[in-house]
């Protein structure tokens, strides 16, 4: 997990060039205050570059915000894929999904918080575009698991419950939550499974 210790994002995270340096700085800044609460000056401080550099590389705050959302989402998906293994049962794979999300939130809380800001502090058109392009990615994880381990009963209900519970879990974990919250979400889901 990255600790800030009062340092700006560009001093903590690795970056290849000034464009990526701005992207990382903006992600951290946006994760704190959302789109509307973050100024280009704050992004400049996190990136360690002057404001004209931000406009040179990204054109506008909206373009930069979109790039941050997209990069964060893809970064999260890559990390989740690395942590998810094919297991012997549906229950084991579903449990691993909750654990993987929990791990990502613990390791990259700033990036995770940006996904929360997407829901509560984004221009409508950006939120809609993001949902249209990437909203199905979590469903895809769940679908692959259910394709490998089809339940004997209630497949559609269990699939839907799993996908929506995972989304609810991600949103719940976006703010400050108790340690091991994934256990309560997973246990609740297992109890519903037994009822179907």
Q: Is residue 3 included in any domain, yes or no? A: no
Between 149 and 165, whose confidence is greater? 149
Q: Is the pLDDT of residue 181 over 80?
A: no
> What is the count of structural domains for the chain?
1
Residue 1 is predicted with a pLDDT of: 45
| Euclidean distance between CA atoms 42 and 23, whole angstroms | 13
Q: Is residue 4 included in any domain, yes or no? A: no
Q: Is the pLDDT of residue 3 over 70?
A: no
Residues with Cβ within 8 Å of 192's Cβ and at least 6 positions away in sequence, in order, are 161
Average pLDDT, the chain: 86
Q: Is residue 65 included in any domain, yes or no? A: yes
What is the average pLDDT across 65-71? 93
Residue 174 is predicted with a pLDDT of: 61
Residue 24 is predicted with a pLDDT of: 92
Q: Is residue 102 included in any domain, yes or no? A: yes
Percentage of residues in the chain having pLDDT higher than 90: 47
**pLDDT tens track for 92-104:** 999 999 899 889 9
Which structural domain range is residue 69 located in? Answer: 9-195
CATH code for position 123:
1.10.357.10
Q: Answer yes or no: pTM beyond 0.95.
A: no
Residue 172 is predicted with a pLDDT of: 74
Query: Residue 191 — very low, low, confident or very high, per pLDDT cuts 50/70/90?
Result: confident
Residue 119 is predicted with a pLDDT of: 65
CA 143 to chain centre: 19
Q: Is the pLDDT of residue 38 over 90?
A: yes
Query: Residue 131 — very low, low, confident or very high, per pLDDT cuts 50/70/90?
Result: confident
Torsion of the alpha carbons at 72, 139, 36 and 17, rounded to the nearest 10: 10
Residues with Cβ within 8 Å of 26's Cβ and at least 6 positions away in sequence, in order, are 38, 43, 46, 47, 54, 64, 65, 67, 68
């Amino acid at each position: 997990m990255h600790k800030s210790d009062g340092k700006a994002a560009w001093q903590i995270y690795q970056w290849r060039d000034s464009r990526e340096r701005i992207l990382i700085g903006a992600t951290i800044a946006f994760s704190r205050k959302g789109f509307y609460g973050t100024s280009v000056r704050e992004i400049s401080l996190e990136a360690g570059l002057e404001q004209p550099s931000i406009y040179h590389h990204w054109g506008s705050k909206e373009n930069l915000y979109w790039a941050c959302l997209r990069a964060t989402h893809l970064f999260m998906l890559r990390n989740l894929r690395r942590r998810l293994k094919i297991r012997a049962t549906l229950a084991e794979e579903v449990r691993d999904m909750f654990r993987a999300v929990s791990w990502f939130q613990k390791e990259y809380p700033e990036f995770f918080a940006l996904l929360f800001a997407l829901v509560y502090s984004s221009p409508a058109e950006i939120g809609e575009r993001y949902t249209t392009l990437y909203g199905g990615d979590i469903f895809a994880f769940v679908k692959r698991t259910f394709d490998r381990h089809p339940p004997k009963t209630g497949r559609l209900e269990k699939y839907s419950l799993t996908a929506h519970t995972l989304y609810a879990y991600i949103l719940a974990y976006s703010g400050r939550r108790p340690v091991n919250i994934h256990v309560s979400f997973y246990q609740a889901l297992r109890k519903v499974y037994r009822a179907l």
